[in-house]
Structure 1
Amino acid sequence: MSAIQSAEADTLERVRDLPPSAKLVAKVLEYEDTLTQSEIADETLLPARTVRYALTRLEDEGLVDSRFSFTDARKRLYSLDV
């Protein structure tokens, strides 16, 4: 098994026990790369509160990186950390 396959397997294992909303957010970030919280809500059709909860769970597992947006410091950008 290559290092990439091992990392993917580890990520899948860590996501497996998370709530469905966190799984959906992780999948969207996998395809879209980097999004703001409102963009994630638009993509997933989840309420903002649910997206916040999902992001918190993913951050607790070390699966998501967040950083401030250079264009608008009030916003944070989220990306999957794989």
Structure 2
Amino acid sequence: MSTHAEERVAEEQVAEEEESPFTDTDFRDRLQELPPSAKLVAKVLEGEAPLSQGELASESLLPDRTVRYALNRLAEADLVESRYSFRDARKQVYFLSA
């Protein structure tokens, strides 16, 4: 890989890290108080949002009921938001609050 390409990749990684809510102290403090399942769901959403509840269960390897509980806890802490899916309006998709 050329030096120019390596620099571009490094810049993209820095930009991604800056955009992550996990770098926000307030976000981390609120997340700290939540159960491990909520932390795992938040981490999955960090990399792959927006996801439906079923997709979150599949990606996190948690049962649907546990994902639902984690999403409720994250929503109560204002760490996650939802909207209707563009692909299937019957489903909600979830993403981290900025």
- Assess same fold via TM > 0.5: yes
Alpha-carbon shift at residue 33 of structure 1 (Å): 2.2
Q: Secondary structure at the match of 2:24?
A: helix
The unaligned stretches of length 5 or more in structure 1 are none
Aligned to 1:68: 84
Max Rg structure:
2
Quick one: higher RCO (CA 8 Å, sep 6+), 1 or 2?
Answer: 1
Aligned CA-pair RMSD: 1.6
1:58 aligned to 2:74?
yes
Aligned to 2:8: none
Compute the TM-score of the two structures, normalised by the length of structure 1: 0.88
Superimposed CA distance per residue, residues 18-69 of structure 1 (whole angstroms, 9 cap, x where no aligned partner)? 0000000001101112111111000100000000000000000100010011
* Identical-residue share of aligned pairs (%): 58
Q: Which residue, out of 52, 65, 69, partners 1:36?
A: 52
1:27 aligned to 2:43?
yes
Alpha-carbon shift at residue 73 of structure 1 (Å): 1.4
Higher-helix-fraction structure: 2
Deviant stretches of 4+, over 6 Å:
none
Q: Secondary structure at the match of 1:67?
A: strand
Q: Secondary structure at the match of 1:74?
A: coil
Q: Secondary structure at the match of 1:29?
A: helix
Mapped partners of 1:33, 1:10: distance in 2: 20
Report how many residues are paired.
78
Mapped partners of 1:27, 1:71: distance in 2: 23
The unaligned stretches of length 5 or more in structure 2 are 1-18
Alpha-carbon shift at residue 81 of structure 1 (Å): 0.6
Compute the TM-score of the two structures, normalised by the length of structure 2: 0.75
